[in-house]
Every structure is written in C-alpha cells, then in structure tokens.
Amino acid sequence: MPYYEVHPEHPQPRSIGKVADIVRDGGLIGYPTDSAYALGCRLGNKEGLDRIKRIRKLNDKHHFTLVCSEFAQLGTYVHMDNATFRLVKSLTPGAYTFILAATREVPRAMQHPKKKTVGVRIPPHVTTLALLDAIGEPLVSSTLILPDADAPLTDGWQVNEEIGHELDAVIDSGDAGNDSTTVVDLTGDAPEVVRVGAGDIEPFS
C-alpha cells in the first residue's frame, strides 16, 4: 500500500498525481484535511462506499460528504435557496459539513436513503485542495473515526499503521487538524447543529 509524504505548503505534484490516479482507478485513500483525516473515493464508486462502511462499521443512515475544491461546485450537487446560499458561502472554506438536499448528480447510493440528502464541505487545506484539483471532481468522504473511537485519526503514520492494509494509498502532509468538522443540517426551517467540532457554532445560535 503506497504511503506518500508531501510538503504541507508545496505538496509534490508527482505524489499528488499518483494518488489522484489511484482514486480515478477506483481506489480508496486516507488523506489529511484541516479538521482531521478522512477516507475518500471517487464519486459513484459504490465499492469504495462499501469499504468505508466496512472500515468504520457504518449503517445506511450515515451521511457521506462531498468534499469540493470551491464554492462554485456546490450548485451541481446540492439544492440551496438564497438564504442558504449566502450562509454557506459566508462560512466556506471552513471546518463545516453542511447537510443539504442532493441533486440528481449525486448517485443514490451516496444519498441518505430516506432524506435524499448529502453532506458537502470545502476545506481550507493545501494538500486536500491540490488533490481535488488533480482528480478534477469532488471526493466522496467520511471522517476517519474508527469503530469504538471517540475522536478521528489525525496522523498519517497512525492511519498507515492502523488501517493501511485496508486502503489503496495514504497521503501525509503532517498538518491534519485534530478535530472533526462541525456538521450543520440546513434542510429544515432553521439550521440544526448535528455535531459540534472544529467550526464555530455561533453563526447558528
């Protein structure tokens, strides 16, 4: 299983390109973000989703997240009214995951089975953004919290040691955050904070 160490401010394009190729070929990776490590695969990769569920022991009610490189991408994958548009734009990029109604561009296997929703986020993290640019589309992701653990993994070497044998690549820039994202459900009449994490909840109180 390839383990790529890259510079946090100037990640090596060769290494980033190799990981992007692995994702495009249907692989599952562990990668750093501003909030913690995440598991990621290509949009529409059903096997990748099943592997994430198996590693994390998730049920069908789990919200997967589309990690995007820029705000302009969001409109392709989620529905937003004007007020939601302004709120999300004001808080991105940032340590937030927003749950919104999915568009037809999101495969049904990725959507919440009953609510037809999906999480979206834009991380302010150099390595993540370089990887997304190399792939050319969002990553389907889930915070890397192992079963029975209270907190996500935050070090590449630990990801490699604990579950490297279950992944196709791990990328390590040495600067992952140490907390999960704050998850906010924006599908109701008012924002609902589902999980408190690195993002400030003040805008929703």
Number of domains in the chain: 1
pLDDT at 51: 96
Amino acid at position 163, single letter: I
**Residue whose structure tokens are 């919290």:** 145
pLDDT at 183: 95
SS3 202: helix
Q: What is the dihedral of CA 75, 80, 82, 87, to 10 degrees?
A: -90
SS3 45: coil
pLDDT at 1: 75
Q: For position 102, which CATH number holds?
A: 3.90.870.10
Low-confidence ranges of the chain (pLDDT < 50): none
* 201 inside domain: no
User: What pLDDT digit, counting tens, does each position of 124-177 carry?
Assistant: 999 999 999 999 999 999 999 999 898 899 999 999 999 999 999 999 999 999
pLDDT at 97: 96
* 50 inside domain: yes
CB 22 within 8 A of CB 83: no
* 204 inside domain: no
Q: What is the dihedral of CA 80, 81, 83, 84, to 10 degrees?
A: -20
Q: How far apart are the first and last CA of the chain?
A: 44
